[in-house]
Amino acid sequence: MHGVGTNPGITINRAYPVVLDISRLVSRVGRGPLTGVDRVELAYLDWCLSDATAPFYCLARISGGYVVLDREGAVSFKAKLQGKTRWGKPDLRARLALKTPKFRGAAESDLRRLAIARSGRSTLPPLPLTHGIYLNIGHSNLSETTLFGIRKAGLKVATLIHDMIPLDFPQFQRDGTVPQFEKKMRIAAGNSDLIIANSADTSARVRHYFRQWGGKPQSVNALLGVPDLSMPIDRSGLNRAYFVTIGTIEPRKNHALLLDVWDELQAELPTEQMPALHIVGHRGWKNEDVFRRLDELKGSQHVIEHSDMNDEALTELLAGSHGLVFPSFAEGFGLPSIEAAQLGISVICGDLAIHHEILGDYPVYVDLQDRYLWKKTILEQANQRQKDLIHANKAKNPKIPTWSEHFEAVNAAVIKLL
């Protein structure tokens, strides 16, 4: 999901040094809006930078090896990542790397210029620490080389696990990615001192696999934070109901169900009564039939695809809707549903444990196999006034998790570990 902002807005005093892995953020440069996992890694960068008293460094794996940034370098990287300052010119190595995308090459060039230490692929560069915690949030650098080097330097390892979906639902994954994911999780199981789980549901799934592999790290459950998305919306001109679905267009997200529902609605309703469906997200993998159907719907007033919507526009679109439709077969956390709930927007979703854990009775839960019930529920929502829906929803709003609560839990677990 695109997510909207990450700034924790807090300062928790850390009495321990941190090395934060930013490899995933580096890999995302030039690839459009940050996705959910990217934004979690960015939230950790914000948190680490919010406390100027304890030592802080960043580690990144880039083409050809590793780099280490100090606090000043991390601030510069963040400013460039968020577009506040421009990336520099690609250096010679980037210009010679023909397979490296232009913006990624520029970012890696700047990282080499900002680095206080560098190394090749086989070993980590020397770290200016002999104790503290290494945080891996995005999984991009979960390798034996990395974690061996971290532990050799004297640091403890904390890994945030977002989900175990590739192992639980391998049929939805890109070809070849399941063995890669399992390898990373086995490395995490064998080398992590602390596992940060984003929910109790994820924690239970992690324990299931880690026990099989003999891993017994400490663990903490810390719900991901959702920043305040409240914003004034002028609804005076919103005469036509519409719904929003958010997420990469891949089989797990079950866009096919929504397209089937909208096909039936179009066959049954006059044009002026048809609700619209806004599909927000990049096209993913193993979904050729859905891609074909979307291509055939280009120019439609009823189904509109948005492949590169920015955060502000997405929040405004969601806030003006009659509901978020979220028929995923599996979710690690489900940020779109929580963000919709924070705005008072209806959530229509599948009956998943993670939704119950975080949202309670806020959503309308609909059987993922019952297309008729999905259509009926969507029509009922479409026929209500949007203001009435929001008023009714806010009366049963769930408690929205915050970054402050997340980092308080993580901070306490790290202190206990160290």
The C-alpha atoms of residue 68 and residue 111 are separated, in whole angstroms, by 8
Label residue 123 left, alpha or beta by phi (over 0 means left) and psi (-120 to 50 means alpha).
beta
Query: Distance between terminal CA atoms of the chain?
Result: 34
Fold match flag (18-225+403-417 vs 242-394): yes
Q: What is the CATH number of domain 18-225+403-417?
A: 3.40.50
The residues with which 160 forms a beta bridge, in sequence order, are 196
In 3D space, the residue among 274, 258, 137, 245 whose CA is nearest the CA of residue 196 turns out to be: 137
pLDDT (0 to 100) of residue 98: 67
The C-alpha atoms of residue 45 and residue 319 are separated, in whole angstroms, by 28
The C-alpha atoms of residue 351 and residue 96 are separated, in whole angstroms, by 51
Query: Exposure pattern of 42-74 as b/e (b: 16+ CB <10 Å)?
Result: bbbbbbbbebeeeebbbbbbbeebbbbbbeebb
pLDDT (0 to 100) of residue 10: 53
Label residue 250 left, alpha or beta by phi (over 0 means left) and psi (-120 to 50 means alpha).
beta
pLDDT (0 to 100) of residue 34: 84
Cα-based distances in Å from 282 to 32, 250, 332: 9, 9, 19
The domain spans of the chain are 18-225+403-417, 242-394
pLDDT (0 to 100) of residue 234: 58
pLDDT (0 to 100) of residue 158: 98
Cα-based distances in Å from 149 to 55, 119, 155, 198, 384: 19, 12, 9, 26, 59
pLDDT (0 to 100) of residue 2: 39
**Residue ranges in the chain whose pLDDT is less than 70:** 1-13, 98, 230-239, 395
Question: Options 3.40.50.300, 3.40.50.2000, 3.40.50.2300, 3.55.40.20; which CATH number does 242-394 get?
Answer: 3.40.50.2000
pLDDT (0 to 100) of residue 221: 97
Total Cβ atoms within 10 A of residue 153 = 17
In 3D space, the residue among 393, 330, 334, 394 whose CA is nearest the CA of residue 364 turns out to be: 393
Answer yes or no: pTM beyond 0.75. Answer: yes
The C-alpha atoms of residue 8 and residue 238 are separated, in whole angstroms, by 33
